[in-house]
Amino acid sequence: MIFPKPKNNISAFSRLVFLITIAYILAQGLLLFMIFIKTGSIQDAYDTITFAHKYPNYFKLMQILQSLTLFFLPAITFPFFAGERISNFFGKKNVRLTTFFALLLLIIILMPFINYVAEWNRNIPLLPNLYEKLKQGEEQINSLINFLLQGKGLGVFLLNLMVFAIVPAIAEEFFFRGTLQKLFIDIFKNIHIAILITALIFSFVHFQFLTFVPRVILGIILGYLYVWSRNIWIAILTHFFNNSMAVIIHTFFKEETQKTVESIGSNINLITFIVNVFIILIILYALKKYFENEH
């Protein structure tokens, strides 16, 4: 162990804040360096959307490196700063095949619910100017994602899966659930508050506020799955399944079908919504009991 254990939880939190600050500086420096290497100028850093359209694959590589630097690096470094062994910090590693399919089923069943809540989120009354700015920002992000997901073929599919599903799932879950949530549990001495605060931060850093609430709900579900299972790979797999849906839909479905699949559940009636929620709760309860029996 490189560092002695911190005297208290606030001291541990301050060490994490230090690591996050260093990671942010490194990520920004890496971004500017990669743009300079590609264009000979850092002016394109002020217009990332144009840069992404000019160099889509290079931009995807940048996204991978930024995710690893911003989230994964501080997460795997923190155990050393907390005076713990990294092998013990994040819990078990094995995932049974039955759990694998149960998590996949959960994400599929969640789709109508998430789309319904997303539609409700978009219709929350806001000041007109604020709503237009948020809407414009959301449309720009969605347009960029749709552009980057374009293309057919196994190579494109695997690259997009790496950029939008594999790396974000691993990096973000190690950071948010494996590190931040665990630290908040120690600080607040309340699992539910820690999960909620972590989910709020998780949603906030995505800067897509017209879909803020469904992302908070997803963060809460990921948080409970990690607490119940004590296995970071359960949260990673669930996150991966959620993100990979978009990659699969854009790769293997036509545009009209994409819109239909992506809007499933957004206009369902209240009774169907309640039934959907009931099924989700049953699956979550079954997973909770299953993980409890594993321990």
More confident call, 84 vs 144 = 144
Scanning the structure block, which residue is given the tokens 């957004």?
266
Average the pLDDT over each of 118-127, 171-180, 237-246, 252-261 and give the range with the smallest value. 252-261
Residue ranges per structural domain of the chain: 1-89, 96-294
Mean pLDDT of the chain: 89
Mean local confidence (pLDDT), 96-107? 94
Mean pLDDT comparison of 50-64, 123-137, 143-157, 213-227, highest-scoring range: 213-227
> What pLDDT is attached to residue 86?
79
Mean local confidence (pLDDT), 251-265? 74
Q: Three-state SS across 85-134?
A: CHHHHCECCCCCHHHHHHHHHHHHHHHHHHHHHHHHHHCCCCCHHHHHHH
Whole-prediction pTM value? 0.91
Report how far apart, in Å, the C-alpha atoms of 46 and of each of 32, 43, 274 are: 10, 6, 45
Mean local confidence (pLDDT), 85-92? 77
Report how far apart, in Å, the C-alpha atoms of 66 and of each of 34, 62, 168, 281 are: 11, 6, 10, 35
Sign for the pseudo-dihedral over CA of 146, 273, 240, 173: positive
Mean local confidence (pLDDT), 166-186? 95
Average the pLDDT over each of 30-44, 147-161, 176-190, 229-243 and give the range with the smallest value. 30-44
